[in-house]
Amino acid sequence: MKRTILLVEDDVLMREFMTDYFKKDSWNVLEAGDGREALELFELHEIDLIVLDIMMPEIDGWSVCRRVRKKSGVPIIIITARADDDDQIMGFELGADEYVTKPFSPKVLVARAAALLKRAEGTLGREEDVLSYGGITINKRAYTVEVDGESVGLSPKEYDLLLLLTRHTGAVLERDEILNAVWGIDYFGDPRAVDTHIKKLRAKLGGEGRHIRTVIGTGYKFEVEKRELE
């Protein structure tokens, strides 16, 4: 079954260029020239992934990202001509999963989209389908996370981050290690992206977020007392 991508870009030539590459890779492509049209298409169709420009008429990309995240954990790649660290942090705080600056290779963009979707679908690696840590239950086959039996909506990056931390329970992971594992070795953005996502992940896990410990000056580790393990 074809994957469906929503390309949101006000530059017609750029949008058509990206569309051609995604169609060559067997994606079903929906196009939007502004934020308002993007939100309308998102409501009408089943979207697997969004590529979202920031500077657009009607409704900007920040607002689109914020509104989508209130309803869905669909993977989002932000594209923009602005490479400021603060802009990248803003994107991650709003729930974006990848941040690509212009100019970029369309082939690389398609590859990133495919890899991000695989992670979102939980198809990378084959381990136990259901993992439990204290009150946290991760169902890898269903790509769901529950805390004390209640479903928790995580973005793909938050899910990958939780999975990485739990796989290395008790071990200290440096920020660079986390960036390479979750964002990829070609990520050259601000390492504060890790801190931003950890903060959001802890908040979504509620009381169970206490298991994610900060190791000052180094990174993070996931710890669960033996009596809490199932």
For 17-52, how does the pLDDT look when each residue is reduced to its tens digit (9 = 90+)?
Answer: 899 999 998 899 999 999 999 999 988 888 889 999
Which of these CATH numbers, 3.40.50.11810, 1.10.287.110, 1.10.10.10, 3.30.1340.30, describes 130-228?
1.10.10.10
Model confidence at 185, pLDDT cuts 50, 70, 90, reads: low
Full-model pTM: 0.55
Q: Is 121:98 a contact under the CB 8 Å cutoff?
A: no
3-121 and 130-228 have identical folds? no
Model confidence at 212, pLDDT cuts 50, 70, 90, reads: very high
Model confidence at 126, pLDDT cuts 50, 70, 90, reads: very low
- If you average pLDDT over every residue of the chain, what do you get? 83
Per-residue confidence (pLDDT) for residue 32, from 0 to 100: 93
Q: Is 100:78 a contact under the CB 8 Å cutoff?
A: yes
Per-residue confidence (pLDDT) for residue 229, from 0 to 100: 44
Q: Is 8:35 a contact under the CB 8 Å cutoff?
A: yes
Report domain extents, the chain: 3-121, 130-228
Q: What is the CATH number of domain 3-121?
A: 3.40.50.2300
- Whether 122 has a pLDDT exceeding 90, the answer reads no
